[in-house]
Amino acid sequence: MTFSLFLLQGLLVPVLSPLCVGVIKKIKAWLQNRQGASIIQPYRDLWKLFHKDERISKDASWIFLFAPLVVFSVKVFVGWNIPLFSLDSGFFATSDALVIVYALALGTFFLALAGLDVGSAFGGFGSSREMTLSALAEGGFIFSLLTVALLAGTTNLFGIASHSLFDSGLHFVPVILAFLGFFIILLAETARFPFDNPATHLELTMIHEAMILEYSGKRLALMEWASANKLVLFFALGANIFFPIGLASGTDISTILIGVGALLLKLLAFCLVIALLESSMAKFRFFRLPDLLVASFILNAVAIGLINSL
């Protein structure tokens, strides 16, 4: 692995994540017959936040101060350890499925701690709801990756992505079921409809926004950037683990460009699906959300059962 590939692997997620958020907002605006903001508006918002002063509660501890750094760093670490555009660009030793699952869980843990730390009512119920959904989503997340890991014979994500899961045609149904289960988890983990409204300002409906309500300035920018990074990470996992098409298998420039182009097309497809979904349905009541997460777990369990029966 060359240094340039290593650097590109690490930079792609934080560089592309604000663009994906902007594309989703733009598509939603078009679907609502509005002009909408520019797709580069999230970059401007981050730039503005990084140049603003911060207001920090006198009750804040070191957890509140350092949580944005931890949450953002976890997303960068995960971005270095999942297949994005090439099969030769990651840390193979730390690219295990369980390492990725629990690294993301670590970021969620510190995010919830930050919401609780200053003692605000909104931060408290936002953290409570976040941890409830995360606990219910964890099983479905692990089982969805376990399905393709069983087919590939390895839990290393780069190893899974290097296998063609549809060669024989026997495993088409299990992979599709596992992907549907994963997609439900994607919506839950990235605070999208019907689990959360990323644009809400109503305190009683907020989950993610409630936890970062006390942040401002640079730390708020890191939290918002980390949230966008997590969206791209799940898009890349869904695209390259379940449908490993277009990943570069060499290190020459033309192959890498094809891999990056394929990644951009996959991200655009996911942005389109998310925008269509959020424009056609409302946010669910909180007590209906566990049913969706249980459905994800069942889909993945059925997929694993089908693999064992083939």
Residue 90, by phi and psi: left (phi above 0), alpha (psi -120 to 50) or beta? Answer: beta
Q: What pairs with residue 156 in β-bridges? A: 96
Report the C-alpha gap between 123 and 206 in whole angstroms: 9
**Residues in CB range of 17: below 8 A, 6 or more apart:** 225, 228, 229, 231, 232
**pLDDT score, position 114:** 95
Helix (H) or strand (E) holding 168: none
Taking the model in full, what pTM does it have?
0.95
3-state secondary structure of 83: coil
Paired tokens of 175: 């992979």
Retrieve residue 49's tokens.
Answer: 């936040």
Least Cα distance to 267 among 18, 4, 10 occurs for 18
pLDDT value of residue 71 = 97
Whether the Cβ atoms of residue 282 and residue 196 lie closer than 8 Å to each other: no
Contact 29, 248 (CB under 8 A): no
Phi, psi for 150 (deg, rounded to 5): -65, -40
Cα–Cα distances (Å) from 254 to 15, 21, 86, 98, 198, in that order, read 21, 28, 12, 33, 37
Q: Which residue ranges in the chain fall short of pLDDT 50? A: none
Q: Where are the domains of the chain?
A: 3-309
Residue 7 host element (H or E) = helix 3-31
pLDDT for the residue numbered 18:
97
Residue 67 is encoded by which pair of tokens? 């949580």
Q: DSSP class of residue 282?
A: P
C-alpha separations of 90 from 74, 85, 143, 210, 250 in Å = 15, 10, 23, 34, 13
